[in-house]
Amino acid sequence: MSRTVVVTGGASGIGRALARELVARGAHVTVADVRNAEETAAELGCAHAVLDVTDAGAVRDLFAAVRDEHGRLDYVFNNAGIAIGGYADEMTLDHWNAAIDVNLRGVVHGVHAAYPIMVRQGFGHIVNTASLAGLTPAPLMAPYTASKHAVVGLSLALRAEAAARGVRVSVVCPGFVDTPLLDHANPDLPPTEVGEQARRAAVRAQGRLYPVDALVRDILRGVARNRALIVAPASARLVWRLVRLSPALATWAAGLAVRRARWQSGR
């Protein structure tokens, strides 16, 4: 039987690559995104929904509609997210609120909509996209880092609760991946020096970042094995292990990165 899948943020980056691979594997995929969902679905040969994950009612209605159409909801990839970068003293509350609304509340809305459906049917897998920044003291992106730490905590707590109900929960923590995310730091928000540095760094790093298709293989392998934390690539796992080994050293290294960034920007 074909699996039924919803991928939020499915029209670009990790979400698009996930949707493409899942369609190739024969799943019934719905690409959900605030923009370009229809064009992406037409290219991939799957269903689509124009969805703003900050709208809890819209998320609930979509998941229920997919369940009603197919009789089941096997996988939900709560993948929609935005990049927010800047010095903490230069970012406005709009930067903080955008990170919380999309990166955290968007996941909360996905969980709140999917989990009761999966509990009632007795199976399902919720996969939340966080970041390596959700496991490390990542500076110069405090709102983003805070939101991703929250997604990790939410996912692990729900996993412990959901296991007895037949529902699986995993959280994905990618390192730097070759997607448009860094190219579009602080979308529709006041620009920051760090955001511009991130954009330039992403352009310079093209071809050296981890390929998104390789990340998708890592994600789906981890999902198949019911991993709690899916951290990729290997360099990200190394950083994560070093942070766990010595939080003080990790914080010192993060401070060094801040000093380097200040020197480069003349601050």
Residues annotated as catalytic (active site), given as ranges = 144
**How big is the chain, counted in residues?**
267
Question: How many CA atoms lie within 13 Å of 229's alpha carbon, on the beta-carbon side?
Answer: 22
Contacts of residues 64-72 at CB distance under 8 Å and 24 or more positions apart, as own/partner, are: 64/113, 64/117, 66/4, 66/6, 66/30, 67/4, 67/117, 67/121, 70/4, 70/28, 72/4, 72/121
**Angstrom distance (rounded) from CA 173 to CA 134:** 7
For the purposes of burial, counting CB atoms within 10 Å of the CB of 167, is it exposed (0-12), middle (13-18) or buried (19 or more)?
Answer: buried
Residue 258: both structure tokens together = 């801040």
CA-only gyration radius of the chain, Å? 18
Indicate the SS3 state at residue 168. strand
Indicate the SS3 state at residue 30. strand
**Angstrom distance (rounded) from CA 227 to CA 220:** 10
**Angstrom distance (rounded) from CA 156 to CA 129:** 12
For the purposes of burial, counting CB atoms within 10 Å of the CB of 116, is it exposed (0-12), middle (13-18) or buried (19 or more)?
Answer: middle
Neighbours of 9 (CB within 10 A): 28
User: Residue 62 — φ and ψ, nearest 5°?
Assistant: -65, -50
